Amino acid sequence: MSATTATGSRRDRRTRRWLATAGTIAAAVYLIPVYWMVVTSLKTGDAVFRVPPDLVPLPPTVESYTRAVFADPDIARGLANSAVIAVGTTVLTLLLALPAAYGLAKFRVRGVGAVMMLMLVVQMVPSVNLALPMFVLFSGAGLVDSYAGLVIANCALAVPLAVTILRPYFLGVPEEVVEAARMDGCGELSSFARIALPISVPGIVTVAVVSFLGAWGEFVFGLSLATSEGIQPITIVLAEITNEFGVRWNDLMAVSAVVALPVIAAFVFLQRYIVAGLTDGATKA
In this predicted structure, the answer to whether residue 131 has a pLDDT above a threshold of 60 is yes
Instruction: Write out the DSSP string of 226-266.
Output: --SGGG--HHHHHHHHHHHHTT-HHHHHHHHHHHHHHHHHH
Taking the C-alpha atoms of residue 265 and residue 261, their distance in angstroms, rounded to an integer, is 6
Best CATH choice for the domain 64-284 from the list 1.10.238.10, 1.10.3720.10, 3.10.20.520, 3.40.710.10: 1.10.3720.10
Contact 202, 279 (CB under 8 A): no
Contact 192, 103 (CB under 8 A): no
Q: Where are the alpha helices (DSSP H) in 42-106?
A: 45-48, 63-65, 73-106
Collapsing DSSP states into helix, strand and coil, what is residue 219?
coil
Taking the C-alpha atoms of residue 235 and residue 222, their distance in angstroms, rounded to an integer, is 8
Per-domain boundaries in the chain: 2-41, 64-284
Q: How many residues does the chain have?
A: 285
Q: Which helix (H) or strand (E) holds 165?
A: helix 147-171
Q: Which helix (H) or strand (E) holds 206?
A: helix 201-216
pLDDT in tens, 109-121: 788 888 888 888 8
Residue 11 confidence class, pLDDT cut points 50, 70, 90: confident
Q: Phi first, then psi: what are they for 74, rounded to 5°?
A: -65, -40
Computed over every residue of the chain, the mean pLDDT equals 84
pLDDT in tens, 17-63: 888 889 889 988 888 888 989 998 888 878 888 888 888 888 888 88
Task: Output the CA torsion sign for 215, 221, 222, 225.
Answer: negative
Q: C-alpha angle 221/94/101, rounded to 5°?
A: 110
Taking the C-alpha atoms of residue 274 and residue 206, their distance in angstroms, rounded to an integer, is 5
pLDDT in tens, 173-211: 777 777 777 777 777 778 788 888 888 888 888 899 999
Query: Which of 209, 193, 164, 202 is CA-nearest to residue 280?
Result: 202
